[in-house]
Structure 1
Amino acid sequence: MSDPLIITAVFIGTLLIGVPVFVVLGVTAVVGLWLLDIPGNSLAQSSVVALQPFPLLALPLFILAGSIMERGHTAARLINVAQSMMTSQKGNLGYVTVIACAIFGAISGSGMATTAAVGSVTIPRMIEDGYSPRFASAVAASAGALGAMIPPSNMMIIYGLVASQSIPRLFLAGVIPGLTLALLLMVVVYFLARKEAPRETAPFQWTVFARVVKEGKWALGAPILILGGIYSGVFTPTEAAGVAVLYALFVEAVVYRELKWSQFLGALRFTTLMTGMLILLAPTLTLGHIIALYDMPDLVLGLLTSMGNNPLIFLTIVAVFYIIIGTFMDSLAQIVIFTPVLLPVAISLGIDPIFFGVFTIITAEIGFLTPPVGGNLYVAQRIGNVSLESISLAVVPFFWAYIAGLVIVTLWPELVLFLPDLVFGESR
Structure 2
Amino acid sequence: MSPLIIVLLAFLILTLIGAPLFVSVGLATVLAIFLIDIPYTLMAQTGYTSLTPFPLLTIPLFVLAGRLMEVGGMANRMIAIATRLVGAYRGSMGIVTVFACMLFAALSGSGPATTAAIGSVTVPAMKREGYDVPFAAGIAASAGALGSLIPPSNLLIIYGLVSETSIPRLFLAGVIPGILVTLLLVAVTFIISVRRGYGGTEARFTWRPFLNAMWDGKWAIGAPVLILGGIYGGIFTPTEAAAVAVFYALFVGLFVYRELTIKKVIDSLRFTALLTGILILLTPTLAFGQLTAFYDVPATIETAITSITSSPFLVLLLIGIFYIFIGTFMESIAQVILFTSVFLPLVTSLGVDPVLFGIFTVITCEIGFLTPPLGANLTVAARVSGVTMEKISVAVLPFIGAYIVGMIILILFPDLTLFLPNWFYGLSR
| Residue matched to 1:303 | 304
Deviations 1:169-207 (A, max 9, x none): 110111111100000000011111212424445322221
Residue 102 of structure 1 deviates from its aligned partner by: 0.5
Residue 18 of structure 1 deviates from its aligned partner by: 2.6
For 1:18 and 1:264, how far apart are their aligned partners in 2?
34
Determine helix, strand or coil for the equivalent of 1:130: coil
| Residue matched to 1:89 | 89
Determine helix, strand or coil for the equivalent of 1:150: coil
Is the 8 Å Cα contact of residues 369 and 392 (structure 1) preserved in structure 2?
Answer: yes
Residue 11 of structure 1 deviates from its aligned partner by: 2.9
Evaluate the alpha carbon distance shift between residue 307 and residue 160 of structure 1 in structure 2; reply closer, same or farther with a 3 A threshold.
same
| Residue matched to 2:218 | 217
Residue 425 of structure 1 deviates from its aligned partner by: 3.6
For 2:365 and 2:331, how far apart are their aligned partners in 1?
8
Matched, 1:232 2:233: yes
| Residue matched to 1:50 | 50
* Mapping 1:130-149, distance limit 5 Å: 130-149=130-149
Evaluate the alpha carbon distance shift between residue 425 and residue 19 of structure 1 in structure 2; reply closer, same or farther with a 3 A threshold.
farther
Matched, 1:120 2:120: yes
Residue 129 of structure 1 deviates from its aligned partner by: 2.4
| Residue matched to 1:190 | 190
For 2:107 and 2:202, how far apart are their aligned partners in 1?
30
* Mapping 1:304-319, distance limit 5 Å: 304-319=305-320
For 2:253 and 2:345, how far apart are their aligned partners in 1?
45
Matched length? 426
Identity within the alignment, %: 53
Is the 8 Å Cα contact of residues 4 and 296 (structure 1) preserved in structure 2?
Answer: no
Matched, 1:394 2:395: yes
* Mapping 1:321-340, distance limit 5 Å: 321-340=322-341
For 1:183 and 1:234, how far apart are their aligned partners in 2?
31
Greater shift, 313-322 or 52-61, is seen at 313-322
Is the 8 Å Cα contact of residues 157 and 167 (structure 1) preserved in structure 2?
Answer: yes
RMSD: 1.5
For 1:10 and 1:341, how far apart are their aligned partners in 2?
20
Unpaired runs of 5+ in structure 1? none
Residue 381 of structure 1 deviates from its aligned partner by: 1.5
| Residue matched to 1:63 | 63
Is the 8 Å Cα contact of residues 335 and 360 (structure 1) preserved in structure 2?
Answer: yes
Is the 8 Å Cα contact of residues 72 and 249 (structure 2) preserved in structure 1?
Answer: no
| Residue matched to 1:293 | 294
Is the 8 Å Cα contact of residues 359 and 406 (structure 1) preserved in structure 2?
Answer: yes
Greater shift, 379-388 or 27-36, is seen at 27-36
| Residue matched to 1:405 | 406
Residue 4 of structure 1 deviates from its aligned partner by: 3.2
| Residue matched to 2:245 | 244
For 2:197 and 2:365, how far apart are their aligned partners in 1?
28
Is the 8 Å Cα contact of residues 135 and 196 (structure 1) preserved in structure 2?
Answer: no
Residue 396 of structure 1 deviates from its aligned partner by: 1.2
For 2:319 and 2:336, how far apart are their aligned partners in 1?
12
Greater shift, 409-418 or 14-23, is seen at 14-23
Deviations 1:299-328 (A, max 9, x none): 111111221222222212111111111111
Is the 8 Å Cα contact of residues 90 and 201 (structure 1) preserved in structure 2?
Answer: no
Evaluate the alpha carbon distance shift between residue 403 and residue 330 of structure 1 in structure 2; reply closer, same or farther with a 3 A threshold.
same
Residue 44 of structure 1 deviates from its aligned partner by: 0.6
Normalising by structure 1, we get a TM-score of: 0.96
Residue 88 of structure 1 deviates from its aligned partner by: 4.1
Determine helix, strand or coil for the equivalent of 2:131: coil
Evaluate the alpha carbon distance shift between residue 35 and residue 425 of structure 1 in structure 2; reply closer, same or farther with a 3 A threshold.
farther
Deviations 1:18-68 (A, max 9, x none): 322111221222223223322112211111111100000000000000011
For 2:321 and 2:197, how far apart are their aligned partners in 1?
31
| Residue matched to 2:175 | 175
For 1:232 and 1:255, how far apart are their aligned partners in 2?
26
Is the 8 Å Cα contact of residues 185 and 402 (structure 2) preserved in structure 1?
Answer: yes
Q: What code does the residue aligned with 2:333 have?
A: L
Unpaired runs of 5+ in structure 2? none
Matched, 1:2 2:28: no
Q: What code does the residue aligned with 1:228 have?
A: G
Evaluate the alpha carbon distance shift between residue 352 and residue 198 of structure 1 in structure 2; reply closer, same or farther with a 3 A threshold.
closer
For 1:30 and 1:246, how far apart are their aligned partners in 2?
41
Normalising by structure 2, we get a TM-score of: 0.96
For 1:336 and 1:269, how far apart are their aligned partners in 2?
25
